[in-house]
Amino acid sequence: MIALDDIDRQLLALLERDAGQPASVLGKALGLSQPAAWRRVQRLEKAGVLLGRRLDLDLEKLGFGVTVFLGVKLATKGRVSLEDFERAVMAIPEVQAVSHVLGLYDYRLRVVARDLADFERVLRRRIMTLPGVGDVEANVLLSEELRPGPIAAAG
Amino acid sequence: MIALDDIDRQLLALLERDAGQPASVLGKALGLSQPAAWRRVQRLEKAGVLLGRRLDLDLEKLGFGVTVFLGVKLATKGRVSLEDFERAVMAIPEVQAVSHVLGLYDYRLRVVARDLADFERVLRRRIMTLPGVGDVEANVLLSEELRPGPIAAAG
DNA sequence: CTTGAAAAGAACTGCCT
DNA sequence: AGGCAGTTCTTTTCAAG
């Protein structure tokens, strides 16, 4: 954790909404000169707070009409099982996120597919055959609302 | 859905890894001139495939040490209930994502908090008191691996 | 921490193939 | 569709207060 002042927080809040803004625009909004705003962004990057910029894509328009959240319980949970499972699950291209969690399930996966038929194929051929998989629970995504980031809201 | 050729796909795959790359670099990697690469990016933005660029932040370094996935069942599920719930849940700053899903739960939430004590406060005071909330299931995030995006992997 | 200037580079435009 | 040349704007470094 690093020391952020109010201006850093405002800066991150602005960038959370649109990471493509030039330093001149950020500076104007914050009452800073363009180089001053630029240096703040640089400092946050070097401090490892700002890891990078990612694309926001329309999955539907790319042909991925189905997103499913999976909860996965492992049948066997030794150290080797976890590593085997993680390696195998990351090799499935449709798996967008693998979260190791504590609770009723051991892993939460975010999986994309062209449609439900395609998802069934992935589930039966790839997921259910993963090493050590026990119970699997699925939630099909209907709609989603995302917040720009934690600073803008919870500052 | 829109028509993308191979070059568009390669372009998106590159941008998924780092959305801050200049068109000159993208062009070099694709065997195109800088304006040609730039025009492709513009076209994808106007087509609505590329929605924008988002920040990738280190939540730990920002003081959000805890992330929890919540599954929420509603007790009453009329049209009004869903809308009431969605409006109320989005007003909680710690809630980073609200996903309306089909399955054992009605909603999946992604919640951040400073620590577990802070999370308990959010859960008891904000989440459990939401209109219409029935069963709630929690998974505490231990670690997470994200893919850069669907194109790089599943093309 | 700021300004202002200057150089380098990226974005954008128009014209041409 | 792509390339080239030129203009505008941003980024980046530097000198200095």
Q: What percent of chain A has pLDDT over 90?
A: 81
**The two structure tokens encoding residue B33:** 């001139």
> B59 in helix, strand or coil?
coil
Separation CA B127–CA B95 (nearest Å): 9
Q: Who among A100, A143, A150 is closest to B112 (CB)?
A: A150
Q: Which residues of B touch A55 (CB under 8 A)?
A: 12, 15-16, 19, 50, 52-54, 149
Q: What is the pLDDT of residues B10-68, one digit of tens each?
A: 999 999 999 999 999 999 999 999 999 999 999 999 999 999 999 999 999 999 999 99
> What is the model's pLDDT at position A33?
87
> What is the model's pLDDT at position A80?
82
Q: Is A103 left (phi over 0), alpha (psi -120 to 50) or beta?
A: left
Separation CA A8–CA A47 (nearest Å): 12
Ordered by where they begin, the domains of chain B are: 6-46 (1.10.10.10), 66-140 (3.30.70.920)
Test mutation, A25, A45, A49, A57, chain B, max B CBs within 10 A: A57
Q: Which residues of B touch A4 (CB under 8 A)?
A: 62
Q: Gap from B91 CA to D7 C1', in Å? A: 47
Distance from the Cα of A106 to chain B's closest Cα (Å) equals: 9
Q: Gap from A35 CA to D14 C1', in Å? A: 12
In contact, A150 and A4? CB cutoff 8 Å:
no
pTM for the whole structure: 0.94
> What is the model's pLDDT at position B78?
84
**The two structure tokens encoding residue A99:** 């979260």
> What is the model's pLDDT at position A1?
66
Distance from the Cα of A33 to chain B's closest Cα (Å) equals: 22
In contact, A141 and B99? CB cutoff 8 Å:
yes
Residue A77 has pLDDT above 90, yes or no: no
